[in-house]
């Protein structure tokens, strides 16, 4: 299997996710734990972990802080801030932080590259105070201002910390959040597939007739006609002795033009098939050998 992301072993620490098999086993364990409300199935856990790996986070951080909302990766502002700090290239400093707004100055290699400000007026203009998170904005305005200022700044000044993936906070994707910007509840939508039709096993007598009919290349229409004469639709509706008679009829029809007299074929069938079939010798193999006895393969003479 090919590597997913060669550098992720360092990010996850002692837990190595080298290939899709490692990811599958890890995802199955996370799903089975039942600790993550928005990822009940292994495939959902795998997508969250894989998205987190591409953003540079470990498995548990991905499960708790990375969410897929409407097909887009969403992470909390605290994870964004941690990614900025650990990058070694970027940094930030909060220069304003109050109930009316937050300003964050971003640095690249120690030099200022810009600032991101989000104010109460911005929140009002965006309808944030009246939406599903209005109560959180009113109760924790400083936290929410920081979340928005951080997410904007990351997208504006240091998008490469997430390998080019555009990251949004859950609130920006219209998800309900708490004061830390983490999701309160994400509806998990699972595509409900119709249940697979249960495949009924083939009755042994039906399979028996089918295999021998195929071997003999006997016309299916003639089998149906024979069954109709017996007032049934399938061989499984017959007694075993009647199925024996059907098979004998097919075999003797095959041999009709290959022997000098019909009795020769019938006697040969009794000797090489009827009398030898048992627990140690399968009927199909016996019929194959009988066919070779009745009509031996042509020998190709090789001239010297």
pLDDT tens-digit readout, 30-58: 888 888 777 788 888 888 888 777 777 77
Each residue of 225-249: pLDDT tens digit? Answer: 999 988 999 999 999 999 999 999 9
Counting the structural domains of the chain, the total is 3
Same domain, 253 and 212: yes
Structural domain range at position 261: 204-294
129, 154, 183 — which closes off a domain?
A: 183
Average pLDDT over every residue of 255-265 = 82
> In this predicted structure, what is the pLDDT of residue 74?
77
- Whether 299 is covered by a domain: the verdict is no
Same domain, 147 and 227: no
69, 94, 122 — which closes off a domain?
A: 69
51, 69, 87 — which closes off a domain?
A: 69
pLDDT mean across residues, the chain: 81
- Whether 54 is covered by a domain: the verdict is yes
- Whether 97 is covered by a domain: the verdict is yes
Same domain, 64 and 82: no
Average pLDDT over every residue of 199-203 = 78
pTM of the predicted model as reported, rounded to 2 decimal places = 0.51
Judged against a pLDDT cut of 70, whether residue 190 lies above it is answered with no
Judged against a pLDDT cut of 60, whether residue 1 lies above it is answered with no
Same domain, 95 and 50: no
Higher pLDDT, 154 or 279: 154
Task: Name the least confident of 153-167, 209-223, 244-258, 282-296.
Answer: 153-167
Neighbouring residues of 182: CB distance < 8 A, sequence distance ≥ 6: 64, 65, 76, 78, 170
Q: What is the CA radius of gyration of the chain?
A: 37
% of residues, the chain, pLDDT over 90? 28
Same domain, 35 and 93: no
The answer to whether the CB of 235 falls within 8 A of the CB of 206 is yes
> In this predicted structure, what is the pLDDT of residue 303?
55
Phi/psi of residue 95, each to 5°? Answer: -105, -15
- What confidence category does residue 103 fall into, taking pLDDT thresholds of 50, 70 and 90? very high
Same domain, 224 and 262: yes
Same domain, 175 and 103: yes
- Whether 197 is covered by a domain: the verdict is no
Judged against a pLDDT cut of 90, whether residue 67 lies above it is answered with no
CA distance 195 to 106: 53
> In this predicted structure, what is the pLDDT of residue 219?
92
Same domain, 84 and 60: no
């Amino acid at each position: 299997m090919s590597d997913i992301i060669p550098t992720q072993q360092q990010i996850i620490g002692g837990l190595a996710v080298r290939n899709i098999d490692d990811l599958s086993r890890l995802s199955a364990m996370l799903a089975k734990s039942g600790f993550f409300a928005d990822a009940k199935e292994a495939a959902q856990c795998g997508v969250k972990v894989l998205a987190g790996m591409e953003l540079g986070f470990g498995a548990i951080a991905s499960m708790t802080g990375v969410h897929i909302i409407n097909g887009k990766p969403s992470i909390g502002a605290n994870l964004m801030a941690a990614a900025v700090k650990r990058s070694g290239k970027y940094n930030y400093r909060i220069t304003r932080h109050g109930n009316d707004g937050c300003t964050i100055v971003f640095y690249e290699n120690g030099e200022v590259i810009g600032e991101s400000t989000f104010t109460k007026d911005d929140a009002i203009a965006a309808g944030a105070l009246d939406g599903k998170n209005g109560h959180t904005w009113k109760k924790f305005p400083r936290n929410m201002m920081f979340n928005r200022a951080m997410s904007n700044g990351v997208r504006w000044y240091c998008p490469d910390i997430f390998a080019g993936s555009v990251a949004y906070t859950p609130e920006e994707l219209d998800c309900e959040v708490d004061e830390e910007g983490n999701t309160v509840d994400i509806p998990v939508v699972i595509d409900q597939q119709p249940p697979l039709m249960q495949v009924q096993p083939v009755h042994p007598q039906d399979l028996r007739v089918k295999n021998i009919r195929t071997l003999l290349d006997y016309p299916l229409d003639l089998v149906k006609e024979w069954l109709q004469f017996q007032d049934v639709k399938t061989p499984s509706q017959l007694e075993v002795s009647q199925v024996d008679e059907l098979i004998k009829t097919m075999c003797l029809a095959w041999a009709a033009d290959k022997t000098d007299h019909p009795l020769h074929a019938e006697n040969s069938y009794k000797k090489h098939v009827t009398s030898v079939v048992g627990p140690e010798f399968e009927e199909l193999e016996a019929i194959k050998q009988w066919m070779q006895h009745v009509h031996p393969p042509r020998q190709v003479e090789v001239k010297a």
